[in-house]
Chain A
Amino acid sequence: MSIILQMRRIVMISVLALSAVSLLLMLLGISPLTIGITLAKGSIFSWLKFNHVLSVWIPLLLCSCGLLFTFRAGLWNIGVEGQVICGAIGATLVLRLDNTGLPPAALLSLALFSSFLAGGLWGASAGLLKTRGGVNEIFGGLGLNFVAQGAVLWLILGPWKRAGMASMSGTDLFPRELWMWVPQGWRVAPAAIVLVIIIFLLTSLILNASQFGLKIKAAGFNPQASRLFGIRPNLICFMAMIIGGGLAGLAGGVQVSCVYHRLIPSISSGYGYLALLVVMLAGYKVAPVPIICLLFACLAAGSIQLPITLQVDSSLSGVIQGALVLSGLLVYGLQQGKRRGH
């Protein structure tokens, strides 16, 4: 597609979303301008705040990369939330180990690896349910989300509860040396940023420039015909689910080791669902994903300013995100309809 067309699309989406949200705000008697300024000031106008944005961006981008794989394979992986939670559990499992004798850096790497495995396992379960059990991945994923949520609640109130306590607030903090290293004046671990950038580049390489990526695409677009090319669509779907789940799990691992430093019930922070919106708005393409993630992260991190400075409920940022995605889908739909019409 030509760049001009892409630009036009972006402009159309933003104008549409902006006007919809502005209209809504004016109906509520709030100035859209102040909201915009507040959101911007709360996200990008200071280094610290940008750090907060990054701490949302990292797990969100990881989930989105995972979703790119499953969407390419034609799968609606609604189970991302559960996969994030499982990844968090996997990381916590390693970080709670006593007397391993391993240096903290090794233990942290092991924890991240374990989170990838745990998330991948959860993705694989949804994949197995689909390919073997004939359960649609949407229902399988939703079911597994509940199972994962149940598991984390059980762990927090059961085997992993704090001494003398029974609280849903979470497990004990990990010892300081098991927090991922954050330089003075930073709020986000540089290692996590590097990790997510590598993961994104790999995703981009695999999906856009590899035999495997092409096979995923083929199996997703037309599973029946892909078999004529020697592709086993079920196997490809299964692998996409494992990778997708693994990356979501990695997001959970980052949440545990870099953000909360413990396991809490809402460890996924809803990034799984948010990532679905991101990838939909990106039109299932790889390149726009990190930018849209950044935009959504700005909205999420900046939204906290709304109640602080304006006493407006921060869920407004959710409305803005929703308006963006709806406008995006509308514009894609219109353009596609036009193309079909010609």
Chain B
Amino acid sequence: MKSLIFLFQSLVILCFLMFSLSSSFGAESTYPFGLLMVGPANDHGWSQAHFEAGQEMEKVLPGTKMIYIDKVNPADRPGITVPMLVDDLVSKGAKLIIGNSDDMKDGMREAAMTHPDIKFIHISGDDVVTGKAGVNLSNLMGRMEYGKMMAGFTAAMSSKTGKIGYLGPLINAETRRLTAAAYLGARYAWTKIRKKDAADLKFKVSWIGFWFNIPGVTSDPTLVTNSFINSGYDVIISGIDTTEALVVAGQKRKEGKNVWAIPYDYVGACTTAPKACLGVPYFNWIPGYTQMIGNAMSGKWKQEFLWLDPDWKSINNMKTSSVGFKAGDSLGEKVKEGLADFQASLADGSLNLFTGPLNFQDGTVFLKDKITATDDQIWNLPQLLEGMEGASK
């Protein structure tokens, strides 16, 4: 009986403490916004790029405060859905929600419908273009084609074997677009700079099935990279959110193999294995976030589909350029010079790699001679291109 009384006493004290504490919760900020990240906030890739941009917002746009949650995917958080998390963030005061993954497309759309007063930014989606989105949902993406072209260019300039492996995530229009861009960059370097036969360039894509490794569900990116290297591919371009390709390349270099990798997404990605890193094409979400959140804060929100260019004057300017390419330490001087020329001709428009004649993988015509692709054709690329190996859908 004594123990029971003790228990009740502690319960009463507990409740008391709880209420006193709960009133002290919740520091004031005028514009809290939520960030839902598909992967861990420290993945050295896609999610970290978003996370750091979100942190930066608190400085760039005074009054904003980021509430975030990472690992938003059914494998890491079973039973938790995007609309549920949006409910949570909204109840914490979030006025705008960013969903950073293609995988959240349906959830974001649903959440936007149930919360018409809240603004939503869905990264990499196109619901605005297809007309499926409500007015409170916008899309944001960077023109990573350019970054991927630079990655392909660097890869083909550096490769000794002429075999480039592309570690692909899942297959959709976005990933086809980016993989094709990397191939075009590589083919340009191979045929125009190194003056070799296009037929001698091998460019193979292996898809793992998701944006990052889910044990037992996706293929293991570490194994895929290993098998690339073991079959003579000496540059691996990563298209997934995490850095396995670079990690494996770093290990193989230590074993004496002359291989490199090009990671993706995050400006600091090369730090995992600097010696094996040729460079990284990365997203900088600060300009996009600033524009969209700034507008929403000042009441000037309008539904938008933003597909932001690099700042060609200075592609690595973190204030202005949405897409950048950071050359790695192991990049040779000659390649660096070639890359600078390449970037210059992309910048002044004298070079557009999405120009005919280009065929699809199945041999049908994509672009006739001298014809350049429209934005819509690039965004919705239906197939890989002729000369690329790997599944198109």
- Chain A residues within CB distance 8 Å of chain B: 11, 15, 33-34, 36-37, 40-42, 46, 48-49, 52, 55-56, 59, 149, 153, 157, 164-170, 173, 187, 259-262, 264-271, 300-301, 304-305, 307-309, 314
Contacts and interface: CB of A to CB of B under 8 A. Distances in A.
29 contacts: A11-B4, A36-B14, A37-B21, A37-B22, A42-B88, A46-B91, A55-B79, A56-B79, A149-B216, A164-B393, A166-B170, A166-B172, A167-B171, A167-B172, A168-B209, A168-B214, A168-B217, A169-B103, A169-B170, A187-B84, A187-B87, A260-B74, A265-B217, A266-B75, A266-B217, A304-B88, A308-B67, A308-B69, A308-B88
Contact of B74 (A153, A269, A314): A269
Contacts of A41: 22
B393 A15 contact: no
A270 B218 CA distance: 18
A271 B79 contact: yes
Given A168-B217, A269-B79, A308-B69, A262 B106 contact: yes
Contacts of A307: 69-71
A265 B87 contact: no
B173 interface: yes
B178 to A, nearest CB: 14
Contacts of A49: 87-88, 91
A265 B75 contact: yes
A136 B77 CA distance: 31
A166 B74 contact: no
Given A259-B81, A271-B79, A165 B106 contact: no
B351 interface: no
B299 interface: no
B22 A314 contact: no
B85 to A, nearest CB: 7
Contacts of A167: 103, 170-172, 209-210
Nearest to A59: B79
Interface of B: 3-4, 7, 14, 17-18, 21-22, 67-71, 74-75, 77-81, 83-85, 87-89, 91-92, 102-103, 106, 170-173, 207, 209-210, 214, 216-218, 382, 391, 393
B15 to A, nearest CB: 10
A299 B225 CA distance: 39
Nearest to B84: A52
Contact of B91 (A11, A36, A48, A262): A48
A48 B80 CA distance: 14
B3, B80, B83, B171: which has the most chain A beta carbons within 10 Å?
A: B80
Given A11-B7, A266-B74, A307-B70, A164 B79 contact: no
Chain A to chain B: the 7 pairs with minimum beta-carbon distance, closest first: A269-B78, A167-B170, A166-B171, A269-B79, A168-B210, A168-B209, A169-B103
A165 B84 contact: no
A300 B79 contact: yes
Contacts of B391: 166
Given A259-B81, A301-B80, 11 more contacts: A11-B4, A33-B21, A52-B87, A55-B79, A157-B209, A165-B393, A167-B170, A168-B218, A169-B210, A265-B74, A308-B69
Contacts, number: 116
Contacts of B74: 170, 260, 264-267, 269
Contacts of B209: 157, 166-168
Contacts of A270: 78-79
A261 B149 CA distance: 38
B18 A37 contact: yes
Given A48-B91, A271-B79, A265 B4 contact: no
B393 A304 contact: no
A192 B66 CA distance: 35
A307 B209 CA distance: 27
Contacts of B75: 265-266
A269 B80 CA distance: 9
Contacts of A42: 88
Given A11-B4, A33-B17, A173-B106, A164 B382 contact: yes
A49 B209 CA distance: 33
Contacts of A300: 79
Contact of B81 (A260, A268, A309): A260
A42, A55, A165, A301: which has the most chain B beta carbons within 10 Å?
A: A165
Given A15-B7, A169-B210, A259 B79 contact: yes
Contacts of B393: 164-166
Contacts of B89: 308
Nearest to A167: B170
Contacts of A157: 209
A167 B208 CA distance: 9
A331 to B, nearest CB: 14
A138 to B, nearest CB: 19
Contacts of A271: 78-79
A56 B77 CA distance: 12
Given A164-B393, A266-B75, A270-B78, A304 B85 contact: yes
Given A149-B216, A314-B77, A34 B21 contact: yes
Contacts of B68: 308
A264 B104 CA distance: 13
B80 A304 contact: yes
A15 B216 CA distance: 38
A165 B210 CA distance: 11
Contacts of B217: 153, 168, 265-266
A187 B83 contact: yes
Nearest to A261: B106
A323 B205 CA distance: 46
A199 B388 CA distance: 55
A268 B217 CA distance: 13
B25 to A, nearest CB: 8
A261 B22 CA distance: 36
A169, A170, A265, A266: which has the most chain B beta carbons within 10 Å?
A: A169
Contacts of A314: 77
Contacts of A262: 106
A56 B216 CA distance: 24
Contacts of B91: 46, 48-49
Given A37-B22, A55-B79, A167-B210, A48 B172 contact: no
A316 to B, nearest CB: 13
A59 B79 CA distance: 10
Contacts of A268: 78
